[in-house]
Chains A and B, each alone.
Chain A
Amino acid sequence: AQTVTQSQPEMSVQEAETVTLSCTYDTSENNYYLFWYKQPPSRQMILVIRQEAYKQQNATENRFSVNFQKAAKSFSLKISDSQLGDTAMYFCALRENAGNMLTFGGGTRLMVKP
């Protein structure tokens, strides 16, 4: 069974600085997809970034980028130029190509300080 682990329960960063959130996973599949979701206090999960495991190039979305290390089964999220609106819970998630369900990590609470 697939698992996702986020080892940092809480992180904080000063506004305008850069922060990296860690995620490791385990799967027996070769084809899978990795995601980072943001969950603000409103509870709604918002997709931040997506990575296909067969792509070697790291995904980027504006200030958000990932460091995908397939051999190490690591998928970290880097937030550049942090903004106050980035304060939220961040969840790493895995979906195997053969399935449809997302498996989530336990989350990292990020606080951006002014």
Chain B
Amino acid sequence: GAGVSQTPSNKVTEKGKYVELRCDPISGHTALYWYRQSLGQGPEFLIYFQGTGAADDSGLPNDRFFAVRPEGSVSTLKIQRTERGDSAVYLCASSLTASGGSSTDTQYFGPGTRLTVL
């Protein structure tokens, strides 16, 4: 596709429920990133994939959060037993490569999924 797409655009759920957020990166991009943006703040890193593997998951807040990228393209962020504090915009980004030194590692962002936990 022309850009990074994320579905759904908005998700409202009840406390304790399970949710899945999907990210379709730019075609051919090997690196994929998830960030969380709380209201009035800058995005915070959650996890980064290089191909199918999670190369850095140091930003995941706890074990309720999990992400996969089974075929090296689409990624799903999964949140179990949602809490009200999980309410935020979840942003996905992709880059052609992951290594530094050239513009091919520039991260391009999707429009995000706004998650509201009631």
Q: Identify the A interface with B (CB < 8 A).
A: 4, 31, 33, 35, 37, 42-47, 50, 91, 93, 95, 97, 99-107
Contacts and interface: CB of A to CB of B under 8 A. Distances in A.
Contact of A95 (B91, B100, B112): B100
B110 A44 contact: yes
A50 B44 CA distance: 19
A101 B109 contact: no
Given A103-B45, A107-B42, A44 B98 contact: no
A101 B45 contact: yes
B93 A45 contact: yes
A102 B40 CA distance: 18
Contacts of A45: 43, 91, 93, 109
Interface size for chain B: under 10, 10 to 19, 20 to 34, or 35 or more residues?
20 to 34
B112 A44 contact: yes
A46 B20 CA distance: 25
5 contacts: A45-B109, A91-B42, A97-B101, A100-B48, A106-B41
B100 A33 contact: yes
Contacts of B109: 37, 44-46
